């Protein structure tokens, strides 16, 4: 087969990967010189721990296995099975962690509840005060700023792969074909549109009532910490945003312990991953109302710095970068992704939301299976 993939973010690139793995010819088209969207502006977390039970967890676990396999073949991904810790304080946060560790699917997630001493043995950089920590052994990480480049370098070793940057697809032409803004028509046996947060133009014409929304977030990255942060780290505010933690204990936490005003206003949680250069990627916020602000706001960064310092028990290294990103999320957040045939031979795959980096290999594999590749 000849497969046309539109979009060079992580979802599109994983579709190209699976098509090549199954022996097909692939043409991948990207409107930028390089992907510049959410695939680069994220934590690089392979985040199994908070996923909803059922299809979402199964997808995340399958993706986790695929990431490990691909990472062994492509060292430039920087894959590492680092796991995560969510330190908790007080009886209400502890109760939520206990409920998560007691779920029927907790062993599949690698969830265990550790004492503070056990957590510090696992991650000695956490010298601050906390009572216990929820450990997820299945969580992992890659390097988001370089992962697409590494994947494409590997894809480019195959003569059946062609990458066409700087071309915006403007039109679906008949069946199995698209026209780009250079006037060239690209015809294949299948076309997969992996357009990320680009939901206007062609996508709106194809699906006027697409059940997908855009979400904006703020993040930052520091100078090197000077010591290993051996796991990813979250805070108890993350319990409020991930379906795996829904329980009567979470309801009690919400009633007894409000978020700080800044965290509540920006729908915040702490997620933190150490990069291979030693710096820390830290976030994040959530903004849903359009139009999005064009600037970044300092209050969330100040809040995150305080939370991180309380866990590390030391000052945060200097912040070197701040940025905002936008990703596409299904309005029905229980859905892993929106996958829709929009024309004969043409499929749209978008809206994984914050699951995109985690689940992309399995999302693409499911597309390949569905289309009979």
pLDDT of 290? 86
Residues 205 and 89 reside in one and the same domain = no
Structural domain contains residue 5: yes
**Which pLDDT does position 40 carry in this prediction?**
87
23 in the Ramachandran plot: left (φ > 0), alpha (ψ -120 to 50) or beta? left
Give the CATH number, domain containing residue 98: 3.30.9.10
58 within domain boundaries: no
56 assigned to some structural domain: no
How many residues would you count in the chain? 373
Is 311 found in the same domain as 272?
yes
* 14 and 97 assigned to the same domain: no
Cα–Cα dist 147/150, whole Å: 5
In a domain, 79, yes or no: no
346 and 220 in a common domain: no
* Three-state secondary-structure class, residue 51: coil
Alpha-carbon dihedral sign for residues 309, 312, 315, 318: negative
Query: CA nearest 144: which of 76, 83, 193?
Result: 76
Residues 354 and 239 in one domain: no
CB neighbour list of residue 219: distance below 8 Å, 6 or more residues apart: 41, 42, 43, 281, 282, 283, 284, 322, 323, 324, 325
Assess contact for 8 and 153: CB atoms under 8 A.
no
175 with 236, same domain: the answer is no
Tokens of 102: 């007691």
pLDDT at position 174 is 85
Domain of 152, CATH number, reads 3.50.50.60
Tell me: do 18 and 120 sit in the same domain.
no
Paired strand residues for 71: none
Q: Are residues 245 and 326 both part of a single domain?
A: yes
Tell me, yes or no, whether 104 and 222 share the same domain.
yes
Q: Are residues 247 and 306 in the same domain?
A: yes
Contact present, 180 and 172 (Cβ < 8 Å): no
My answer on whether 109 and 244 are in the same domain is yes
Phi first, then psi: give them for residue 323, nearest 5 degrees.
-160, 165
pLDDT score recorded for residue 36: 85
Q: Cα(128)–Cα(309) distance, rounded to whole angstroms? A: 8
Segments of the chain scoring below 50 in pLDDT: none
Q: Which three-class secondary structure state does DSSP give residue 157?
A: coil
* Residue 252 belongs to a domain: yes
Task: Confirm if 225 and 125 have CB atoms less than 8 A apart.
Answer: yes
Same domain assignment for residues 116 and 150: no
Is residue 151 situated within a structural domain? yes
Distance CA 3, CA 188 (A): 5
Number of domains into which the chain is organized: 2
Which DSSP category does 80 fall into?
B
pLDDT for residue 339: 98
Any domain includes 31 = yes
Give the range of the structural domain holding residue 95, as residue numbers without chain letter: 84-137+212-330
Alpha carbon of 191 to those of 203, 349, 352: distances in Å? 13, 11, 19
Within-domain flag for 132: yes
């Amino acid at each position: 087969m000849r497969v046309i993939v539109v979009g060079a973010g992580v979802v599109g690139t994983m579709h190209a990967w699976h098509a090549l793995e199954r022996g097909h010819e692939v043409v991948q088209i990207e409107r930028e010189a390089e992907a510049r969207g959410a695939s680069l502006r994220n934590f690089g977390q392979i985040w199994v721990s908070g996923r909803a039970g059922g299809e979402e967890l199964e997808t995340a676990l399958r993706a986790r296995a695929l990431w490990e396999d691909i990472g062994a073949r492509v060292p430039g991904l920087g894959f590492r099975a680092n796991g995560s810790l969510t330190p908790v304080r007080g009886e209400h946060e502890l109760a939520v962690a206990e409920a998560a560790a007691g779920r029927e699917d907790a062993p599949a997630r690698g969830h265990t509840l550790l004492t503070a001493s056990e957590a510090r043995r696992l991650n000695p950089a956490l010298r601050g005060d906390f009572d216990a920590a929820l450990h997820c052994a299945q969580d992992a990480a890659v390097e988001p700023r370089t992962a697409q480049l590494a994947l494409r370098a590997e894809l480019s070793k195959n003569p059946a792969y062609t990458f066409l940057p700087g071309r915006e697809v403007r039109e679906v032409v008949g069946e199995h074909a698209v026209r780009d803004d250079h006037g060239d028509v690209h015809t294949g046996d299948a076309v997969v549109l992996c357009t990320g947060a680009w939901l206007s133009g062609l996508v709106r014409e194809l699906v006027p009532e697409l059940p997908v929304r855009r979400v904006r977030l703020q993040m930052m990255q520091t100078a090197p910490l000077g010591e290993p942060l051996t796991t990813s780290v979250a805070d108890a505010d993350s319990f409020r945003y991930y379906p795996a933690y829904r329980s009567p204990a979470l309801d009690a936490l919400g009633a007894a312990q409000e978020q700080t005003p800044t965290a509540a206003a920006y729908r915040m949680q702490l997620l933190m991953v150490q990069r291979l250069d030693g710096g820390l990627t830290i976030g994040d916020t959530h903004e849903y109302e359009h139009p999005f602000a064009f600037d970044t706001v300092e209050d969330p960064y100040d809040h995150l710095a305080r939370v991180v310092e309380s866990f590390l028990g030391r000052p945060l290294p200097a912040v070197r970068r701040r940025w905002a990103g936008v990703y596409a999320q299904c309005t029905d957040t229980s859905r892993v992704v929106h996958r829709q045939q929009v024309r004969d031979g043409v499929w749209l795959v978008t809206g994984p939301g914050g699951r995109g980096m985690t689940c992309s290999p399995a999302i693409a594999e499911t597309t390949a299976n569905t289309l009979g590749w």
